[in-house]
Amino acid sequence: MIKFEDITKEYNNLVALSNINLEIKGGEFLFLVGPSGAGKTTLLKLLIREELPSAGEIYYDSWEVSKLPYKELPQLRREIGVVFQDFKLLPQKTALENVSFVLDVIGKAFEEQEELAPEILKLVDLEKQRDHFPHQLSGGEKQRLAIARALAAEPKVLIADEPTGMIDPASAWNVINLLRKINDLGATVIMSTHNVGIVDTLKRRVVELDQGKIVRDQKEGEYAAS
């Protein structure tokens, strides 16, 4: 379903990723681990073409992502939901509008948006904050809103970049359970994390990056190499 072939990404001669080869099958739950600056976020950015690779090819289904025409990008991005590390919430829209915007983007009718958006907010326990703007939300609330928004589009692939970075352990488990539920429903989940407990408990595929290279790819792996 997703395939990185010989992917290299350089920023002004600084190598962020080099010769990445990685295949992810539909329905997988994959943890991306490794120290800060290892290239996890860059890898995820390449998949939705927020960035272009310096060399190599990325396939999503039959699409070659780096060669996708500008007009077809929205289609790709509707299939791949992202919980961004920096949230990327729409600052001028309320929590509810952030969610209904995505519903609108994927073509849900207005009545459906009105009905679904509050339900999705409830899922991440934000129904009381529905009329708050992002700047009025705490770090954890923003993170939960970012997750709610990514879920709203019912994506085939869900990318979560450090989705538990700013929330307390109990909430973190709520988030993970949500991601597992989505995975159970058939979506592919790719999650980058520093949370040792979660990775070790879930025992899913673990891909470890270090200095732009894949140093470990393990089925039912743990956070640290054993």
- Tell me which residues touch other proteins (CB under 8 A): 48, 50, 71, 73-78, 82, 84, 88-92, 101-102, 104-106, 109-110, 149, 153
Complete DSSP assignment for 139-173: HHHHHHHHHHHHHHT--SEEEEESTTTTS-HHHHH
- Nearer of residues 144 and 204 to other proteins, judged by Cβ: 144
Burial of 11: CB neighbours in 10 Å, binned 0-12, 13-18, 19+: exposed
Least distance in Å: CB of 41 to other proteins?
13
- Nearer of residues 105 and 225 to other proteins, judged by Cβ: 105
On whether the CB atoms of residues 203 and 222 are closer than 8 A, the answer is yes
- Nearer of residues 109 and 215 to other proteins, judged by Cβ: 109
- Nearer of residues 117 and 198 to other proteins, judged by Cβ: 117
Least distance in Å: CB of 97 to other proteins?
8
On whether the CB atoms of residues 94 and 131 are closer than 8 A, the answer is yes
Least distance in Å: CB of 77 to other proteins?
4
Q: Which two tokens stand for residue 208?
A: 């470890």
Calculate the alpha carbon distances from 79 to 62, 188, 219 in Å: 13, 11, 25
- Nearer of residues 48 and 123 to other proteins, judged by Cβ: 48
Least distance in Å: CB of 153 to other proteins?
7
